[in-house]
Structure 1
Amino acid sequence: MSVSALAPIPSRLSDIAPDPLSVLNSVFGLPGFRGAQEEIVGHVVAGGNCLVLMPTGGGKSLCYQLPSLLREGCGIVVSPLIALMRDQVAGLLEAGVKAAVLNSTLSYEEASAIEARLLAGDLDLLYVAPERLLTPRCLALLGRAKIALFAIDEAHCVSQWGHDFRPEYIGLSVIAERFPNVPRIALTATADDLTRKEIVDRLGLADAPRFVASFDRPNIKYEIVDKQNAPAQLKAFISERHSGDAGIVYCLSRAKVEDTAAALNKAGIEALPYHAGLDANIRARNQDRFLNEDGVVIVATIAFGMGIDKPDVRFVAHLDLPKSIEAYYQETGRAGRDGKPSTAWMAYGLSDIVQQRRMIDESTGAEAFKRVSIGKLDALVSLAETANCRRTRLLGYFGETLAATKCGNCDNCLSPPLVRDGKVAAQKLLSCAYRTGQRFGAMHLIDVLIGRETERVQQFGHDKLSVFGIGAEFNEKQWRGVIRQLVAMGHLQPDAEAFGALKLTETARGVLKGETEVMLREQAAGRPSRTKSRRGDIAVSAGQSKAGDPSLIGALRAWRSEVARQRGVPAYVVLHDATIDGIASSRPTTSGQLRNIPGIGEKKLEHYGDELIALVKASGG
């Protein structure tokens, strides 16, 4: 395909390469499909509806981009975030695809020009925000255009049970009503059974097949540590293991975002805050720097992240517990989209459980919603407290079974925690909570157990109780671990009516009577291994070339940064890291050799081929 940087490509790519695999290779530079991509593309091209559940980085976008190129008309992509639309369109334009967006950032004249292109059949893909699509003007416009398909991205937003529920998504049921003969494909990286059911019901997909890919992200190492001094732990984690890497740090409050970003900067780590309370221009500038520059850390509330397409995020860290496993999986999934080794790290403590339970109890949601929310939180706490493979527990939540009992790439597999019989310790703690009236929090219970004659202990006469000092064999940190695990097991629970207080549950009776087994995990003696796991090595090497000449990689990155700056797009839109690694490894010196590198399609070969080959030759290729 010979096309200039700004000239439109021929009216339909399918006129040139009607075969899906040929389009995949010529446009996107990819040698083959992954997983169920080929089956999904074939189904949609034939006019079928479907629901696609595929992990972040698994290639969801190709499942609607390719059919849009192969079917007559324009593919309409419903996307919730301007940043996601902008980045995907920039990448498509680089590949020579006629793509555009309709959102609130456009002037009336710009929007009118795009609408005219749609009606003239001059677009392959059009990205539209749900609010925009539901307007009478937009629906009327779509009614006059030739539509290839509707793709509802981030489809979990349609569910009230989902972690990113957006009311405007409910209105998307109008698509099935007004365009019953146009294929609909709903896509998400995260959805439990309740969420899947609501997606199907809301979007009219009851009879449509579901394509559920593996949720496993073998290149991500999962690590959850006991929260002690979280800011110091975070700084050590980044400085020692991800210095100079791009990463995302999630905090629950805006104030904590600001404080954490400031602390990281003081420690020499370039960090930017992002939350809804910041001026819109500052938010946009910080997000653009994170996307466009290398090695920037963004510290954010959950207002940041959905749809972020940056492939080289090397770590995602949580300083506060998310609300559910879905939220945890979605947020950690923003690491390592390019398949290279990455880390999902979280500092977690008892205060996180208490805080999240209080937020649920104080919410205005219906009782059914609160019950579901508590169940989701309990599942996440169980993941944090498990002494077994975290990946196995995580995948099990989504109904998937790992072939092996150990993944070899989580902290519990790399440095297994000790597990001991904790029945006596549990009985002491529960007795202490009961005899002090179930009106006190963790610190007071620990003071009583250890035998500290604090002013508060003496004020309530708890130094006279039989439980005073019966737990002196453990220190404060150990007792905190016991309390946290008993809360996770459901034998203790925060009292919604007495802030911070812990009270016994029905299951505590069995523990006190000695009828219920209690096994407690202890912190492993050594620090988790920092070496790559065998499984991780296999997973990464399957999709990547071996490392190339560091000096050539540096030259390619510098060239990419300059091209990205000139074109006003993120560096990864020009070339992904994996493509740079492929060039540095194979050192192509001809156009044919360069064309065989994954990520080099016809358009990129035309645009950048000579410069890339010159860089290889200049480095001694």
Structure 2
Amino acid sequence: MTSAQARTALKKYFGYDDFRPLQLSIIEHVYAGHDGIVLMPTGGGKSMCFQIPAVTMTGTAVVVSPLISLMKDQVDGLRAAGIRAAFLNSSQQGSESHAVEQAYENGELHLLYVSPEKLLSPGFFSFLKRRRVCLFAIDEAHCISAWGHDFRPDYTMLRQLKSAFPEVPVLALTATADRLTRRDMAEQLGIPDAKQFIASFNRPNLSLEVRPGQKRREQIVRFIRERPEQAGIVYCLSRKQTEQLAEKLREAGYNAEAYHAGLSADRRGKVQTDFINDKTLIVCATVAFGMGIDKSNVRWVIHYTLPKNLENYYQEIGRAGRDGSKADTLLFYSYNDYTTLKDMISGGGNAEIQLAKLERMKEYAESLACRRRILLNYFSEDHGDDCGNCDVCANPPERFDGTVLAQKALSAVARLQQSVGVGMAIDVLRGSNRQDILKQGYDQVKTYGAGRDLSTYDWNQYFNQLISLGYLYVAHEDYNKLRLAPAARRVLFEGETVELVKFQTIQKRKKQEEGKTAKRAAAPRSRGSLFDALRELRRSLAREAAIPPYLIFSDKTLEEMSAAAPTTPRALSRISGVGEVKLARFGDHFLQAIRQYGGEPPAARRAAVPPADAAPHLLTYDAYLRGSEVREIARERGLKTSVVYTHLARAYREGKELEITDLLPGQVMDWIDEAIRAVPDTAGRKGVLAYIAEHQQDGVVRSHHLELAEAYRHRNPLPTTP
């Protein structure tokens, strides 16, 4: 198998021109027969890492998933794309199971989804050996680790896979696993030396906001009113909260339902099905809801109360904006939420670890550092730039140069051999005469007493900020000892400056926020009535096909359609997310709707044919507008593809009408914008590309992407950062 075959399959089945960061590397790793651990955020494209090998390798890929409610959605989506897939779990009747088993034995399946219980049932390994298994994919693999947030003891039996099928690669995938959980996953699965692939957890399309917990219901009604006809989830701590809030929203005129474990299985199934099919737009749910949801067009997620840890929080907000389009998240926080959760966790299993993680969740909610930085640093992603898309960045606090304070704190941790917790580090900095400090000889370290001018309270605040900013982390598995993160070296030895928040600002903002609701406008959407018409068509086609609407095309794909208004099959095929099977099955319906809505193609496509002696870039521009693809133009005009892109960029700079962002796959525009902000102007293109290679994986952004992006920013400058 080759990367070229993988790219061909990507376009054919899924309609994408380029892989996301790490996906191709993981696929090639599987092709080579190696085991792997994959950590990718929700919506980051984990499934593609085993679905592409499944359709390109000989044999069947077996996917182990604990989410029975999700299997049917995934299989329906794969079948809609032309991929042969099926599932086996306890929800099926005997005849259904027999038909799937027969299809597997006949070699008719690309993918077979099974529950862990089914996989480990007597005789199932023997059944699988009747055909060739090309890959085992373990989804939600954090469930195998007692350190994980959703530990399932039955999952630990999955280590039998490697013994029974030693030659078959095992790919363990999860969206939420900290450093300790990832290591334990590999050990439990019997693949301790498996390569770990850790994708960027940066989801720039998600806005992040935390608000005080006063008058939550009224705030939620206003929040939803600003986002009409958008699907969303409100996560609540208790069953009672879900029922009361759903009733409140219905009284306000919204189609909302409650979901919790106290409902009958039939009722839970109906709520979930109606939400997936856009019949119900709002679900007020306990945390159990969402584990079986693969819905790509959830546009917002609200947390009515504080989650237990950042892993849960990140996984739950990750259910919004899975299609890559803009989405909003909102967390309500009060100290009472924290104490309630603390009481619930105390006395339970792994209480010490879980309480430490709750503290980090509380620090996130109370922090005045960029929220995205806190999240990314928590998942060991060294991220030093503010995001510009959270409430703290929108209203930045007053900061000061805290480099000297940071150097003292980091130096103390280093000189204490990274063997103490926060309390001891502070006592050493303040020159405490505690007997255990003297006994350990900590009074002899160079930083002893270096911070006696600050109170214990102040140092606690500063240490919390240094942890949030990613200079330190807490080793929960080793008695909560402080460890230096890679970023600490830059402060201690490379002259990096550290900005910390003034306490006066913290106190001032807390007073301002009491009894006051932060006002935040809904994220701008590039949607108009054509988008609404296409969405209604999608809903109608989904009813006929008996599948969820988002499995036909995502919101992101509909947005691109409404912006580009393609009127030919070739032009429609250039829209991201339109693969061969979906083009053949649904293309005519969408093309007809676009033609009926617009009457004629956009003005750019009605442009007069330029004379034969026109400038070369205008001839290229005209060919592109008339539906020719870049490679076609290059072949017909005897040009390199890079030259074609240069021509299109020049035409756009000169004011020609062109959806230039269609030529920039995935999140490339966001990455380029981030790099432009981060590197000095003198760094030039090489500097921008080097930054992207370091932070977003090499090979994803190419020179012609940068040239197109520069043309786009020539006419659409980046907004200045406040």
Query: TM-score, length-normalised on structure 1?
Result: 0.77
Confirm or deny that 1:412 pairs with 2:399.
Answer: no
AA partner of residue 389 (structure 2): N
Confirm or deny that 1:567 pairs with 2:553.
Answer: no
C-alpha distance in structure 2 between counterparts of 1:188 and 1:489, whole Å: 28
Query: What SS is found at the alignment partner of 2:118?
Result: helix
CA contact (8 A) 1:414 1:529 kept: no
Partner of 2:258: 273
Equivalent of 1:134, from 120, 143, 160? 120
Partner of 1:503: none
AA partner of residue 530 (structure 1): R
Partner of 1:3: none
Q: Show the 5 A alignment for 1:425-464.
A: none
Query: What SS is found at the alignment partner of 2:547?
Result: coil
Q: Deviations over 1:407-443 (max 9, x none)?
A: 11111110235689xxxxxxxxxxxxxxxxxxxxxxx
AA partner of residue 341 (structure 2): Q
C-alpha distance in structure 1 between counterparts of 2:344 and 2:92, whole Å: 38
Shift of residue 47 of structure 1? 1.1
C-alpha distance in structure 2 between counterparts of 1:353 and 1:558, whole Å: 42
C-alpha distance in structure 2 between counterparts of 1:238 and 1:18, whole Å: 45
Instruction: Name which of structure 1's ranges 586-595 and 556-565 shifts more when overlaid on structure 2.
Output: 586-595
Confirm or deny that 1:397 pairs with 2:378.
Answer: yes
Equivalent of 2:535, from 537, 553, 557? 557
CA contact (8 A) 1:247 1:295 kept: no
Confirm or deny that 1:56 pairs with 2:42.
Answer: yes
Partner of 1:387: 368
Pair 1:54–1:602, CA change in 2 (3 A): same
Shift of residue 528 of structure 1? 4.8
Shift of residue 244 of structure 1? 2.5
Partner of 2:75: 89
Q: Show the 5 A alignment for 1:468-617.
A: 520-521=506-507, 522-523=509-510, 528=518, 530=520, 547=526, 550-617=528-595
Shift of residue 385 of structure 1? 0.7
CA RMSD of aligned residues (A): 2.5
CA contact (8 A) 2:271 2:280 kept: no
CA contact (8 A) 1:45 1:70 kept: no
Partner of 1:264: 249
Confirm or deny that 1:374 pairs with 2:355.
Answer: yes
Structure possessing the higher relative contact order (Cα contacts under 8 Å, 6 or more residues apart): 1
CA contact (8 A) 2:227 2:522 kept: no
Q: Deviations over 1:272-313 (max 9, x none)?
A: 111111011110000011110166111111111114111111
CA contact (8 A) 2:310 2:357 kept: yes
Equivalent of 2:276, from 280, 291, 299? 291
Equivalent of 1:310, from 295, 300, 315? 295
Confirm or deny that 1:319 pairs with 2:304.
Answer: yes
Instruction: Name which of structure 1's ranges 327-336 and 164-173 shifts more when overlaid on structure 2.
Output: 164-173
Confirm or deny that 1:147 pairs with 2:147.
Answer: no
Question: What is the identity percentage for the equivalent residue pairs of Structure 1 and Structure 2?
Answer: 43
C-alpha distance in structure 1 between counterparts of 2:335 and 2:134, whole Å: 51
Q: Deviations over 1:195-244 (max 9, x none)?
A: 111111111221111110111111111111111122222222222x3233
Structure 2, unaligned stretches of length 5 or more?
401-456, 466-501, 602-722
Partner of 1:466: none
Shift of residue 22 of structure 1? 0.6
C-alpha distance in structure 1 between counterparts of 2:503 and 2:389, whole Å: 27
C-alpha distance in structure 2 between counterparts of 1:252 and 1:110, whole Å: 37
Shift of residue 559 of structure 1? 1.5
Partner of 1:104: 90
Query: TM-score, length-normalised on structure 2?
Result: 0.66
C-alpha distance in structure 2 between counterparts of 1:345 and 1:257, whole Å: 16
Query: What SS is found at the alignment partner of 1:76?
Result: strand
AA partner of residue 599 (structure 1): G
C-alpha distance in structure 2 between counterparts of 1:320 and 1:186, whole Å: 31
C-alpha distance in structure 1 between counterparts of 2:254 and 2:185, whole Å: 41
Matched positions, count: 499
Q: Deviations over 1:103-138 (max 9, x none)?
A: 122110110111111111110001111111110132
AA partner of residue 336 (structure 1): G
Shift of residue 54 of structure 1? 0.7
AA partner of residue 615 (structure 1): A
Partner of 1:502: none
Shift of residue 362 of structure 1? 3.5
Q: Deviations over 1:171-210 (max 9, x none)?
A: 1111111111101101111111121111111112211111
Equivalent of 1:78, from 64, 70, 74? 64
Query: What SS is found at the alignment partner of 1:345?
Result: strand
C-alpha distance in structure 2 between counterparts of 1:342 and 1:326, whole Å: 19
Partner of 2:104: 118
Q: Deviations over 1:286-342 (max 9, x none)?
A: 001111016611111111111411111111111111111101111111111111221
AA partner of residue 249 (structure 1): V
Query: What SS is found at the alignment partner of 2:123?
Result: helix
Q: Show the 5 A alignment for 1:199-278.
A: 199-239=185-225, 241-278=226-263
Instruction: Name which of structure 1's ranges 32-41 and 18-27 shifts more when overlaid on structure 2.
Output: 18-27
C-alpha distance in structure 1 between counterparts of 2:260 and 2:553, whole Å: 29
AA partner of residue 353 (structure 2): V
Query: What SS is found at the alignment partner of 2:129?
Result: helix
Shift of residue 18 of structure 1? 7.0
CA contact (8 A) 1:324 1:377 kept: yes
C-alpha distance in structure 2 between counterparts of 1:33 and 1:313, whole Å: 23
C-alpha distance in structure 1 between counterparts of 2:573 and 2:277, whole Å: 25
Query: What SS is found at the alignment partner of 1:299?
Result: strand
Partner of 2:414: none
Shift of residue 554 of structure 1? 2.3
Query: What SS is found at the alignment partner of 1:606?
Result: helix
Instruction: Name which of structure 1's ranges 591-600 and 183-192 shifts more when overlaid on structure 2.
Output: 591-600
Query: What SS is found at the alignment partner of 1:136?
Result: coil
Confirm or deny that 1:161 pairs with 2:161.
Answer: no
Q: Deviations over 1:580-618 (max 9, x none)?
A: 122222222222111111111111111122222222221
AA partner of residue 409 (structure 1): N
AA partner of residue 589 (structure 1): T
Instruction: Name which of structure 1's ranges 101-110 and 518-527 shifts more when overlaid on structure 2.
Output: 518-527
Query: What SS is found at the alignment partner of 1:231?
Result: helix
AA partner of residue 415 (structure 1): N
C-alpha distance in structure 2 between counterparts of 1:85 and 1:292, whole Å: 16
CA contact (8 A) 1:95 1:604 kept: yes
Confirm or deny that 1:340 pairs with 2:328.
Answer: no
Instruction: Name which of structure 1's ranges 156-165 and 55-64 shifts more when overlaid on structure 2.
Output: 156-165
